[in-house]
Amino acid sequence: MLIAAAVLCQIALNLARPLISYKVLALGGDSLSVGLTSASYALVPVAAAISLGRVSDRRNSLRGMVAAGTLLLAAGPFVLFTSSSLLLVAAASAVLGLGHLFFTIAGQSAIARFVSLDRMDAAFGWFTASFAVGQMVGPLLAGLAMGDAGGAPAGVRLADSNAALIIAGIIAVLAVPFALGTAAGGAAGGPKTEAPGARPASIASLLRYPTVKTNMVASLALLATTDILVAFLPLLGESTGVSPTVVGVLLATRAAASIASRLLLPLLVAHWSRPGLVLASLAGAGTALALVPWLFERPWIAGILLALGGFFLGLGQPITMSLVTQAVPPASRGAALALRLLGNRIGQVTLPAAAGLLAAPVGPSGALWMSCVVLGAACLRWPGKKE
């Protein structure tokens, strides 16, 4: 039930998010506006992440948090539909971000609490694969909704994006029954790993774990790169004459490759160390994606590069969840995963905004290259220690 709810929620979310870029352009915005609007998606969750993580550690059942996230994700597209200004679009983007945070913290905490350690990589792999399914289907639907014509008038773009936002909202509503049916409580099929009455660690003490810090940086770089691709690939398509339909297919190709890497995770972990796989994720994604802007006008080559980049982007996220979960005391796993998400959200606030500033004078390619530099910097910070 949790995976089914995640698939539907993520399809709705990733259908709505590329449409935000088109709607911003239709309302008269530019690359900087797209970057700032993308940053607003993560701004509110920055303040809420740790508190929600603590709540997840205290609650016996996480079903309510899963349902709350689903309802917020259902509300976001309808708010976007009614938004007639860039400020309202940014506010609606923040609603989507908060819904995503509720759902993600609750789902991750349920896995960390009820799944045995020897099955945790596979469980996180399936959970994040469900997110990647949404990242594959959502942009594909967005591209189909926006049509083949590049450089369409603003009014046409606005009408098309509004119609597709209604579809996104309906898809998220369909996830509500699954969210209410999740067994994210004491009766879930697995051992409850949190010791009753155990005192959770403070944020400062959690940050003293080297594994927590390095995986926060790696996760931040990987997720921010994914966000920048979603936000700026439509702009790159507009500037190079690549149609929204093709952009949607390219984004879907990236996500499909991420699904493959996450489903193959148990096999990969059996042959390589988790830290080594995270390092490969950072380096491989940065190398492949750096070539995309130069070859974007040849979609089949860009598709191959995005598939390679997507495979490596998808590989790192579930492993960082496992490493963080296993590095901290059981009573603090929800807070530690929320701290990791907080790092993600800080990256999602600052990096897309910085990418928008860079894209204004340089073009959308500059935003993608900036994300590759961030991946490279995360590689340099990686300690390279054996597990």
pLDDT tens-place string over residues 211-245: 888 888 888 889 888 888 887 888 888 888 888 88
Distance CA 36, CA 41 (A): 9
How sure is the predictor about 13, in pLDDT bands with cuts at 50, 70 and 90? very high
At residue 85, the 3 state secondary structure works out as: coil
| Helices 2-26, 86-114: crossing angle, 10 deg rounding | 160
Distance CA 374, CA 377 (A): 5
Question: Quick check: 257 pLDDT over 80?
Answer: yes
Residue 201 has φ and ψ, to the nearest 5°, of -75, 155
- Ranked by mean pLDDT, the top range of 17-26, 285-294, 377-386 is 285-294
Asked whether residue 387 is domain-assigned, the answer is no
Query: pTM for the complete prediction?
Result: 0.71
The H or E element that residue 27 is part of is none
Selected residue with higher pLDDT from 277 and 334: 277
Whole-number pLDDT of residue 196: 42
Q: How is 147-211 classified by DSSP, letter by letter?
A: -S-TT--HHHHHHHHHHHHHHHHHHHHHHHHHHHT---STTSSS---SPTTPPPPPHHHHHTSHH
Whole-number pLDDT of residue 152: 63
Asked whether residue 264 is domain-assigned, the answer is yes
Question: Quick check: 179 pLDDT over 60?
Answer: yes
Q: How far is CA 311 from the centre of its chain?
A: 14
Six token digits for residue 336: 């530690």
Asked whether residue 192 is domain-assigned, the answer is no
Selected residue with higher pLDDT from 39 and 257: 257
Distance CA 343, CA 363 (A): 27
Amino acid in the structure at residue 235: L
Question: Quick check: 177 pLDDT over 80?
Answer: yes
Selected residue with higher pLDDT from 241 and 375: 375
Asked whether residue 226 is domain-assigned, the answer is yes
Asked whether residue 102 is domain-assigned, the answer is yes
Contact present, 158 and 23 (Cβ < 8 Å): yes
Asked whether residue 195 is domain-assigned, the answer is no
Distance CA 75, CA 54 (A): 25
At residue 387, the 3 state secondary structure works out as: coil
Residue 294 has φ and ψ, to the nearest 5°, of -70, -25
Q: For 318-344, what is each residue's pLDDT tens digit?
A: 888 888 888 877 777 777 877 887 787
Domain count within the chain: 1
Mean pLDDT of 3-16: 91
What percent of the chain is modeled with pLDDT above 90? 17
Q: Quick one: which of 318, 338, 347 has its CA closest to 101?
A: 338
Question: Quick check: 46 pLDDT over 50?
Answer: yes
Asked whether residue 386 is domain-assigned, the answer is no
Q: Could you say which DSSP state residue 297 is in? A: T
How sure is the predictor about 172, in pLDDT bands with cuts at 50, 70 and 90? very high
Domain, as residue range, for 243:
2-186+203-381
Residue whose entry in the numeric block shows the structure tokens 């790192």: 316
Six token digits for residue 256: 């499909």
Six token digits for residue 257: 């490759």
Distance CA 73, CA 6 (A): 11
Mean pLDDT of 349-375: 81
Asked whether residue 259 is domain-assigned, the answer is yes
Mean pLDDT of 278-304: 91
Whole-number pLDDT of residue 142: 80
Residue 272 has φ and ψ, to the nearest 5°, of -130, 160
Mean pLDDT of 67-75: 92
Residue whose entry in the numeric block shows the structure tokens 């996830």: 175
Residue whose entry in the numeric block shows the structure tokens 């980049």: 309
Selected residue with higher pLDDT from 172 and 348: 172
Task: Indicate which CATH number applies to the domain containing 152.
Answer: 1.20.1250.20
Amino acid in the structure at residue 382: W
Selected residue with higher pLDDT from 72 and 132: 72
How sure is the predictor about 191, in pLDDT bands with cuts at 50, 70 and 90? very low
Amino acid in the structure at residue 123: A
Mean pLDDT of 43-51: 70
Q: Which residues contact 175 (CB under 8 A, 6 or more apart)?
A: 4, 5, 8, 9, 12, 70, 73, 74
Whole-number pLDDT of residue 194: 44
Mean pLDDT of 39-63: 72
Question: Quick check: 192 pLDDT over 50?
Answer: no
Whole-number pLDDT of residue 383: 60
How sure is the predictor about 385, in pLDDT bands with cuts at 50, 70 and 90? very low
Distance CA 41, CA 278 (A): 26
Distance CA 61, CA 381 (A): 37
Question: Quick check: 202 pLDDT over 80?
Answer: no
Whole-number pLDDT of residue 281: 93
Q: What is the mean pLDDT of the chain?
A: 81
Q: For 77-128, what is each residue's pLDDT tens digit?
A: 999 888 888 899 988 988 998 898 889 888 888 887 777 777 788 888 888 8
